[in-house]
Amino acid sequence: MALSRKIAIAVLVIVLLIGGALFWLSRGDTADLSVEDVAGTDPVLQDPAAESFPTVKIAEPVGWAADQSPMPAEGLEVARFAEGLDHPRTLYTLPNGDVLVALTRAPAKDGGSDGIMGTIRGWIEGFLFSKAGSAGESANRIVLLRDADGDGIAETQKVLLEEGLDSPSGMAWLDSTLYVANHNAVLAFPYTLGTDTVTGTPRKLMDLPGGGGHWMRNLELSPDGQSLFVAVGSVSNIGEAGMEAEEGRAMIWEYDLEAGRQRQFAVGLRNPNGMDFSPWTGELWTTVNERDMLGSDLVPDYLTNVPVGAQYGWPWVYYKSNIDRRVEAPMPDYLMEYTRKPEYALGPHVAALGMVFAREGHVMGEDFASGVFVAQHGSWNRKPPSGY
């Protein structure tokens, strides 16, 4: 058989395999429950339906036309604050009202090869990421947005920082220092409020386990300014890469700014994202993205307080008393005796990200004067979609 024919047959087989995989993924599991059923303080947790392949239902981003905008709640308005940004993912408002935005994507994967199946998985993953609008190289920039005249539009849009950035996400500022979390380290940059440049050499505060399936690293300063909290997600869904690969992950770290050392603050959190301190109790709270491939109705993402030393069960347990039988790693002794139940379920696969508590002053009116605001990315693996 001629070499060209062999190549053509091989290409055809690969195309058929990819096409078949995409078709199979597009079928998946359809939810029996509404998002509201699997939300709140007492969510319905039905029996798990373990999947060999995830349900895939990706919402294709279309953007907003010049005359379009999101529909706000009654009494609120939405304005286009800034545009033309290369994949903005996280925001941070400085004390003077300036806004920082991180332009970022997932870090580049290591070279290496996982064979033909790894190549096929990579192509499928690339297709899905492209469909969701998240494929491409990370811009690795932090941009300053300034609305000096208060008209709701940032007339200043300038790159504040790009040197030393590697898939940045978390940001925080205190006492002329801008803290930035790359996917693999937390850095401290000298920065004076009101200026539009960062000068000086950054200090590395701590290394972080880099990359992985959950690569974003959010930051939150304690109200007393003594500690910096760092959220680090797992590398995998349920520890299938081995628990050695999860070392230092699926947890919130606390870094003591004066002593210059870190400790594990809370663990068993598959993918903690937004963090904020309650203005009423002073406790740290976080949003967490729970595990996949147990069907469209499981497991709900959640919002919870995070006491020091808290354990939330990942990967062995979800919602305190539900064992995930798929996990191969041995469960630690007595884990279920000290695993905490999350405070509030947000619904299955909604991908809860940023969060912030309402503060005094009623900035958004009486209807939004208390409670917590949670930004949701929206699902990629639920039929019908959730979190939009």
In a domain, 381, yes or no: no
Mean pLDDT for the stretch of residues 85-112: 92
Q: What CATH code is carried by the domain that includes residue 74?
A: 2.120.10
Alpha carbon distance 167, 268 (integer Å): 24
Residue 126's pLDDT band (cuts 50, 70, 90): low
Residue 54's pLDDT band (cuts 50, 70, 90): confident
Alpha carbon distance 187, 171 (integer Å): 10
Q: Which two tokens stand for residue 5?
A: 């024919």
- Return the percentage of the chain with pLDDT > 90, whole number: 78
What residues make up the domain containing 176? Answer: 3-376
Total domains present in the chain: 1
**Above 60 in pLDDT, residue 116?**
no
| Beta bridge mates, 159 | 143
Alpha carbon distance 377, 354 (integer Å): 9
Alpha carbon distance 165, 181 (integer Å): 9
Residue 135's pLDDT band (cuts 50, 70, 90): confident
pLDDT for 42 equals 98
**Above 60 in pLDDT, residue 350?**
yes
CB atoms within 10 A of CB 82: 17
pLDDT for 363 equals 81
Higher per-residue pLDDT: 64 or 2:
64
In a domain, 244, yes or no: yes
CB atoms within 10 A of CB 19: 10
**Above 70 in pLDDT, residue 15?**
no
In a domain, 387, yes or no: no
SS (H, E, C) 146-201: ECCCCCCCCCEEEEEECCCCCCCCCEEEECCEEEEECCCEEEEEECCCCCCCCCCC
335, containing H or E segment: helix 335-338
**Above 90 in pLDDT, residue 129?**
no
pLDDT for 310 equals 98
In a domain, 120, yes or no: yes
In a domain, 385, yes or no: no
In a domain, 382, yes or no: no
In a domain, 293, yes or no: yes
Q: Which two tokens stand for residue 149?
A: 């005249």
